[in-house]
Every structure is written in C-alpha cells, then in structure tokens.
Chain A
Amino acid sequence: MLKYIAKRLVMSIPVIIGITILSFGIMKLSPGDPLANFVNPSISMEDLEASRDALGLNDPLHVQYFKWIGEVVRGNFGYTYSGNHQISALIMERLPNTIILTLSAFVLSFVVGIPVGVIAAVKKNSRLDYSLTFLSLVGVAIPSFFFGLLVIYLFALVLGIFPSGGMENIRAGYTGFAYFTDILHHLILPAIVLSLGNIASVSRFTRSNMLDVLKEDYIRTARAKGLRNKVILYKHAFRNALIPVVTIFGLSIPFLFSGAYITESIFNWPGMGQLGIKAIQDREYGIIMALNLITATLVLLGNLTSDILYAVVDPRIRN
C-alpha cells in the first residue's frame, strides 16, 4: 500500500514539471512586452535593451524558465503590472476563501449524492426513484447563474433567511464562534449552488453502479448464504459500487474549481474566481499564470487522492 502511494507520488513529479513548462510557455507566447506598460516613451533604445538585460528578458528561454521556477517554488509569483502588488499576497488573501467554498461543495456533492444514488438504486423504479431522477436531470441541466439568482431571490429576498452575498457580516465584527457561524451562514447558498450539478451527477453515477453491482454473481452468492438484506446491500453491494465513484472524486475538483468562478461572482464571494475574472479583464498575466499553476496542481492532487482512495477501497489495485 505504502509502496503504491510512493509510486504514484513519484509518477506525478514529471507531470508537475510538465505543468510548469506549459504555464511558462503560455506566458512566453502571450502577446505584449512586460516592459511596454512601464517605460517612459522617451527612453532610448539602448537603455531599453539595458533594462531588458537587467530583467533577464534577453536570457535564453531555459535560463529564464529556471529563474522563474526558482522563484515559484519559493512562493514568489512576481508583481502585478498595475499597482505593483505582490501576486502571492493577493492570492493568499483569496485562496483560502475559494478553498472553503470548493471544499464545502465537494463534501456536499458526495455526502448528499452518494446516499441519494443508493436510495434510488435500492428503490429502483419506485416513485421515489423517478422523482430523484427528475431532480437530478434538473440539477444537471440548470445553469448555475440562473439557479444562483433563483436561490438568492427565494432565500435572501423573499424569505430572508440567508444573506444574498459576501462572506461575512463586516459591520457586525464577529469573533470566535460567532464569526465561524456567520461565515457558515454566508456559505450555505453558494455551496449549494456550486455543488448542485455535482450532486446530481454523483447520485446518477452511484445509482447506476449500485444497479450494476446488484447484478453481480457475488451478490447472488451473498443471497444464497441467507444474509440479511442490509448486509447484502451495504457490506457486499455498496462497497463495490463505491469503487468507481472514487474516480470522480478527483475529476470533480477541477469541475468545482472552475464552477467557483461563476458562483463567486454571483454571490460576491471574495475568492480566486473574482480575482481571476478581474485579472483576465486587466490582462494581468502574472496572476493568470499563478492561478493556472495552482489550479493544475490541485487537479493533480485530486487525481492522486482518487488513485490512493481507489487502492484503499479495491484490494486488486494495491499490488
């Protein structure tokens, strides 16, 4: 088991390197000159060249790459063009907020999606199953900006039980536990909106896996042993049905991360999505590259987690 995890970790090293090369390449290919925005129009060509030299922009590409990567591993993503803010500081201000939102949506997707799928499978072709099928179709089909607005209208404007946006009640200045519940209060609507599509697909996937597993020979064996239905369903069927579900753990991370861009905009959630959209509008390549790199690394981590979980639930993978 440990050997397997170590092997998977080693295998992801070249992927990480690949990601950084790609990020760097895209940055280099993007049009425009980093100096163009800052220089005094009256500067001489020689001085311009001199400052290019000083900034290392005339170095061979691989030298530039190694300099850049050297900074990146130390957490330095450079400075923004306008205002000269430290990019890593901007990101660190936002990243935790996005992680809170994405992680909540992630947990919600599986904590709700898996049981719903199991229930639908166990009660196959019942009215409950049909209703759940209908709801998940709606869940997959409805665009999140529309669902988000609907939810805001209903729960924030009409019922007034949840705030319509933001992450905390700044004026209240809560601390300690009250601060925590305040954030939770703000988190519920965006987390539901962000996870809706995922809940729907996780539950569909769980249902179909569960139905496939229930047709397996070993389920018939379990029945022939006179085991109780609960044991057959949960010990024998559910655990096998969970194996493929684990693979979408990893897949759902990039899905939720990109979904967060939209959800954060709708709910005014101060996360990376907001930062990213603003960066794209302002052509802040440094921020975009940093976000790409972080997102790609998270995707990689997600896949790694999936693979490890896969081995945890399926003994056939371990050796």
Chain B
Amino acid sequence: MSKTILRVEDLSVRFRTEEGVFNAVDNISFTLEEQKTLAIVGESGSGKSVTSLAIMQLLAENGHISSGEIYVDDENILNMSSSQVQHNILGKKISMIFQEPMTALNPILKIGDQITESIIEHQGTGKKEAYEIALDTLKQVGIPSPEQRIKQFPHELSGGMRQRVMIAMALVTRPKIMIADEPTTALDVTIEAQILNLIEQLKSTFKTSILFVTHDLNVVADIADDVIVMYCGQIIERGPVVDIFENPQHPYTKGLLATMPTLEDHKGELPTIQGGVPSITQRPGGCYFHPRCPHRMKKCETQSPGVYTVGQQQVKCFLFEGNKEERNDGK
C-alpha cells in the first residue's frame, strides 16, 4: 500500500455574492497517494479551481472554507495559523502551477529571482547556492541555454517556456505535492504534449504526487492514476483511470467522454450533453445534473442521490441504487 500524502475530508467552500451565500464546493473527500497522479475533471465552473485554491488557502476574499479538514502528512493544515501555512506548507510541501503562464509570473522580476526566492525562503540557502539550484532545475525542465534564460524577464519567453519556468519554480523546493490547475489549457497542442510529458517525467525524478486539474479528459488518459469527476462542486464519479475510460458509469462522465474526438465510435450512441454547468447561484434541486441528464427519473428532481459502488468506481447516481451504498455525500 502506498502512503497517503494528501487527504481532503468533507471539504465545503462558500462564497458571498450579491445574491447571498452559496456553496461552490460541497462536501468533497479524496486522497492523493505518494507519487501518484490524481486528476480532477469536469467542465468549466464545476469547482475544480476552487478546490485547488482551498487546499492552498488562496481563496478569493469573498470565499471561505465552511467545513472540512485537509491533511498533509497527517496534519490538518486548517488548524494551522496562516503564518505556519506560509512557512511550512505553501511552496515547501505543496506547490501550485496555474493556467495562464502569461500572467502568473511577475513581469518585472528576472526568472532567476523568481525561482531563487522560494529556495532562499524555505531552505535558508545563500543566494549563490540558490542560483545554482535554480539553474539546475531550469535544465531539468528542459529550458535551453538556462544560463541566459535565468537572467531574462518573463516577457522574453514564449508561453511554453514560461510554463516550464512555472514548473521549475514549483519543483525547486522539492515539494511532496504539486497542484497543477489546467497547466496546458492556454498552450497549443504540440506544446501541451511536451509539457504533459515533462510533468510525467518529473513526477518520478522529483518523487512528487500530482493533483492534476483539467476540463479535458484527453489529457488525463496518459498521466493520471485515478480520476475524480466533478460537477457543481460535488464528486459524481471516481475510480482508476482505466475504468473511468473503459467503463464510465455516470451519465455525465459518459457525456464528457462522448465529446472526446478520439472516441469516434462512441458518438451517436452517447449523445453529447447539452448546456453548461449552472452557476453556484442557480443550482437546481435534487441531483444537480438532472436538468441535463438523458436518464433522469422523477426522484432525481427532488432528492440528491447517494454514492454507490460499481466495480472499482463510485458513482453518485440513482441508476445504481441497487448497488452497495458507499456513503451519502452531501445532502
């Protein structure tokens, strides 16, 4: 059995909006094992970024964690003071890379400065040593002529190169966990493939576990070990990546797979789901997915389904009501 490195228990996140207070993430639980990749998949607006930012305690001002526990190395980081989290967790045990490489780097600081400051902060090394480590890491993320790049400013680098810099920045302190929130969404397809390869390769060199967030199931197939499918702030299906791809159970997961261009043969028999994710202020009653669901039943409109086990998977859907009930997540 591998060791659990990150455990999220019953996490809920609320936002204050003009229309009132709403849950963006609703009682979700998951674990990330050492040196594994866990993918969180779902359409835009399903709560993936909010989940990642909640773990980093970087939620927007109008948001807060309303319940739950987040264990890193068996310690609940929600019980720590914010300066403890800053000192001991962020950038040290968990790093994060973001979707937009164009805006995620500080435009007026040199690449080298932005990488070394983490090392200096967390490892107390001198400037010179930090510089050597940074240079080395830039080499490892495949940046050509790193001696020159390290002295450049972000605007002098392409999007792909900047994302490599972000990855170098995240890994330079050798964190146990890297959260990657749509790290390739802003890149074109060939660069995307390179970055995915790089992440996959670095996972073993740096012995890091990865929480990989994406709206694109395609991306997940090659790099994930396990997959969580999110919809409206809830986990609606989870399981090992092979099972999710070969045997999707939840109508939403099936729909997501049907929209994938690589699975031509599934088209037609699995119509792509219409519409989009409702906003947090407009979530329907019952099962959140029912208005878009091709298999909806009467009770879907009023009751929230429990979680049922199907083979290796867990599915939050009444279609599997006859199966063993795992737990009743949420309402």
Contacts and interface: CB of A to CB of B under 8 A. Distances in A.
Contacts of B103: 216-218
Given A217-B100, A217-B103, A220-B98, A228 B153 contact: no
A239 interface: yes
Interface residues of A, number: 23
Interface string B84-111: 0111011110011010100111111100
A315 B91 contact: no
Contacts of B58: 220, 223-224
B88 to A, nearest CB: 8
Interface in B35-76: 56, 58
From DSSP, what is the main secondary structure of chain A's interface residues?
A: helix
B147 interface: no
Contacts, number: 77
Given A315-B153, A315-B155, A224 B107 contact: no
A32 interface: no
Given A217-B100, A220-B98, A315-B155, A226 B105 contact: no
B117 interface: yes
A19 to B, nearest CB: 33
Contacts of B95: 224-225
Contacts of A216: 103
Given A315-B153, A316-B153, A226 B100 contact: no
Interface string A209-231: 00000001110111111111101
Interface of A: 216-218, 220-229, 231, 235-236, 239-240, 243, 313-316
29 contacts: A216-B103, A217-B98, A217-B103, A218-B104, A218-B105, A218-B106, A220-B98, A221-B98, A221-B104, A221-B169, A222-B106, A223-B56, A223-B90, A224-B56, A224-B58, A225-B90, A225-B91, A226-B85, A226-B86, A226-B122, A227-B86, A227-B117, A229-B86, A231-B117, A239-B108, A314-B107, A315-B153, A316-B107, A316-B108
Given A217-B98, A224-B95, A225-B169, 5 more contacts: A217-B104, A220-B58, A226-B91, A315-B107, A316-B108
Interface of B: 56, 58, 85-87, 89-92, 95-96, 98, 100, 103-109, 117-118, 121-122, 153, 155, 166, 169
